[in-house]
Amino acid sequence: MDAPTELAAPFADCKGELLCFEGEINHLQFLSQIVEAFQANPGAEEVSLANRIVPSCALGGVSSWDLETLSGYTLKPVFCYDNDGPDKGITGVEKASLFTNKHGDSLTVLAFTTPTKDADDFFMNGGNLKQFSELWRSARKLNVPLAVVRERIDEMRRSVKRKNGPMKYQVEQTIAEFVWKDLNERGRFFHSGGLGLIFLDGDKEPIEISGDGDKFCNLMIDYGLYPADQLKHFVGRFLGPQATRYGTKTDLHLLSYYDKQQNTVWLSEYDGNVLRITPQSIQRVPNGTDGVLFKLPEGAEPYKVNLANITGENLPMRYRYGLLLSSGSAIHRFITSTVQYQENNLTTVQYERLYLALLMTLFMPGLFHTKPLVMFMGESGSGKTMLGERAGWLLRGSKFAAVDMPEKKEDFENLITNTPFAVIDNVGKLKSNAFQSLLAITATGGAVTKRELYSTNKQVEYRIQANLWLSAITSPFKGDEMANRIVPFHTCKRDTYIAASEIKEKFMAHRDEMMTEVVARLQHILRALEATKGERIEVKHRMADFVAFVLRVAGHEGWRKDADYMFECMASDQEDYATEDDAVLETITTWLANNESAIGRWHTPSQLDQEWRQQASTCGTAIPWEEGNTKALGWYVRGNMNILRKRLGLQVQRDKHSKANVYSFVPDGDAIEDMRAACRGGYIHNDRDEPLDDL
């Protein structure tokens, strides 16, 4: 081994990587290149590059490598071996990867070679230090082959049976520590929500350290630890807490992640690459960059964004806005314009803008805590379900499909914690309050807890990630409590039909184009959020986060008035949605229209139950609770409080004697006339100015 030079730090002080040449001539040629570079121009770029790879040494021929002495200087050697065939220099590197010194330390081996037969030949034929440094940067890591690791584990297990051999628990502990150390050589440990993760070098996603996880079981099999093996569970219970103690804390993302503090979107391309989108730049980086970690959703198909199309100043119109649609937009052509909308309160233009805004929030899950529920309603054959599925094809690929609502709580929890997006079909068949409660939890955000076998905690917290879009012929949800969380879309029956397979094939042919547009739009949205930072927007909608987001972007893009009017129309649609086919509301309206003496009078729940039932029997409607069940009556009133106050002038106060609520209805004069007109079969219509068309 050569002595240190003035240009190389003393080996004893070397705590990092040490460049090791095969043969003294190669090393001397390298050192002479450094000397010449210093003499020619001490400030040259290639000199600074060279300084990154010193200290250095020569090991001599492969057969004479003294790895024990080398390990005394560094445990991180970088070998520049000769490019002289598969049975020559590389064999020494492989031997080093298997080496363990007398203290039990192994080497973390990096290795590279030159395009010529050796380093001396490389420099003699015109190679320079800058080019050599690039080769060093590309050095690959050599780990101990798993076959060798398995043999070592087997040898440890056999040692228990030897005379005076170690105790079983000692061997189990040694093996667990050995696997932990080996995995650290092969990747990085993380933890998220109390769950340990291992991200192996070269993999596209991390592996959950979970007793029932297929990927973790397969990883343990690589170490000779099979599912029925108790040692596998012992090792798993060791790795989980180790990961949460020593691994990097992170959140595990599925499709995308929005970093609010940095105003940055991270978007997975499902191939191990991630797009990092800021107001100033768009970059493609490996999964795990800056500690941002993605798990691949099951069945997700990779896509490729054309970054060249969305950089520069002269962008096509469809790439210039965040939430405005142009006729050339691929999203408009293949998604938002593919159905005929029923224009009751909202126009087609407004429906398309709402859809685009909701679609873009799917790519910014950290933008706000709440998640609006989307409800597509219309006759069979109106394309309502496929309108939701198109968003899924864009996000996940052609395998995405709408699903029926899971019947079991566990299945629903798996759905909302393991997928970023789901379309649930035929929700009109489900009437239970429990179903509405589960949806409400999803809309308000939060997490669910489960017992995890290999965790430091008895319960592991899984963050709710799913955005739910629902489809039904008619709404199963009544009352403004649910309606205020829902964005309703009404579609009309089609006159002609195209085969679903043909529609999907054409859609997938343009998926990369649409995702390129999505990325461009995301950057414009980030610029809008940056420009309006600190702006306070007060809204009257229950979905305040979503509404404020759209208004901020709309203000930046110059269509704020249209956006305000759009949400006024949406509020009217939500109100109609909440009262659709509501027999009780119809009964109360008829009761007030036909009984002037009931207006302004205070009623007990029992009195209301009795009078409403009498009215229901007259007009052929039904009260959905049992007679005399005043508690159910109170639940109905609380669930529809806003609508009853707005339409019928409901007032509530506490009776001092009975200590129960009493109710009075004091509608204004116009409302009374509207109720009487409705009872006569008439209707009131207010003309409105239409919003401006899109670009």
Q: List, for residues 46-66, the tens digit of each pLDDT value.
A: 545 444 446 889 998 888 899
Contact 493, 382 (CB under 8 A): yes
Q: How far is Cα 23 from Cα 65, in angstroms, rounded to an integer?
A: 10
Of the candidates 493, 471, 510, the one whose C-alpha atom is nearest the C-alpha of residue 334 is 510
pLDDT > 70? residue 408: yes
Amino acid 337 reads: S
pLDDT for res 477: 73
pLDDT digits (tens, 9 = 90+) for 573-609: 887 777 777 888 889 988 988 888 899 999 999 999 9
Position of tokens 């239970």? 432
What lies within 8 Å, CB to CB, of 399 at 6+ separation is 299, 301
Q: Could you tell me the end-to-end alpha-carbon distance of the chain, in angstroms, rounded to an integer?
A: 72
Work out the burial of residue 662: count CB atoms within 10 Å of its CB; fewer than 13 is exposed, 13-18 middle, 19 or more buried. Answer: middle
CATH class for the domain made up of 11-142: alpha beta
Distances (CA, A) of 169 to 121, 241, 455, 688: 54, 18, 20, 79
Q: How confident is the model at residue 475 (pLDDT cuts 50, 70, 90)?
A: confident
Domain with CATH 3.40.1360.10 in the chain: 11-142
Q: What is the pTM of this model?
A: 0.72
**Exposed (0-12), middle (13-18) or buried (19+): which is 488, by Cβ within 10 Å?**
buried
Q: Has residue 686 got a pLDDT over 50?
A: no
Averaged over 452-460, what is the pLDDT? 55
Lowest mean pLDDT among 184-193, 195-204, 409-418, 509-518: 409-418
487 in Cβ contact with 566 (< 8 Å): no
Quick one: pLDDT at residue 45?
A: 53
Write down the pLDDT at residue 12.
Answer: 37
Q: At what angle do helices 348-361 and 544-557 cross, to 10 degrees?
A: 110
635-646 pLDDT tens trace: 888 878 888 888
Q: Average pLDDT for residues 67-93, to the nearest whole number?
A: 86
Residue 162 pLDDT > 90: no
Question: How much is the mean pLDDT over the chain?
Answer: 85
**What is the predicted pLDDT for the residue at 685?**
34
Domain 317-571 is found in CATH 3.40.50.300: yes
Class of domain 582-679: mainly alpha
Of the listed ranges 215-224, 273-282, 311-320, 394-403, the least confidently predicted one is: 311-320
Is 394 a residue whose pLDDT tops 90?
yes
pLDDT at residue 677, rounded to an integer: 64
Residues of the chain with CATH 1.10.10: 582-679
pLDDT number for residue 11: 34
Q: By percentage, how much of the chain surpasses pLDDT 70?
A: 87
Q: Where in the chain is the domain with CATH 3.40.50.300?
A: 317-571
Mean pLDDT of 669-694: 50
**What is the predicted pLDDT for the residue at 619?**
81
pLDDT value at residue 3: 35
User: How many Å apart are CA 480 and CA 439, to the nearest integer?
Assistant: 14
- The residue-averaged pLDDT of 545-551 equals 94
* Angle (nearest 5°) at CA 281 between 278 and 287: 70
Is residue 18 over pLDDT 50? yes
Helix axes 511-531, 500-509, angle to 10 degrees: 60
Percent of the chain with pLDDT over 90: 48
pLDDT tens for 356-377 read 999 999 999 889 888 888 999 9
Q: For residue 690, name the pLDDT band (cuts at 50, 70, 90).
A: very low
Instruction: Tell me the pLDDT tens digit for each residue of 555-573.
Output: 999 999 999 999 999 988 8
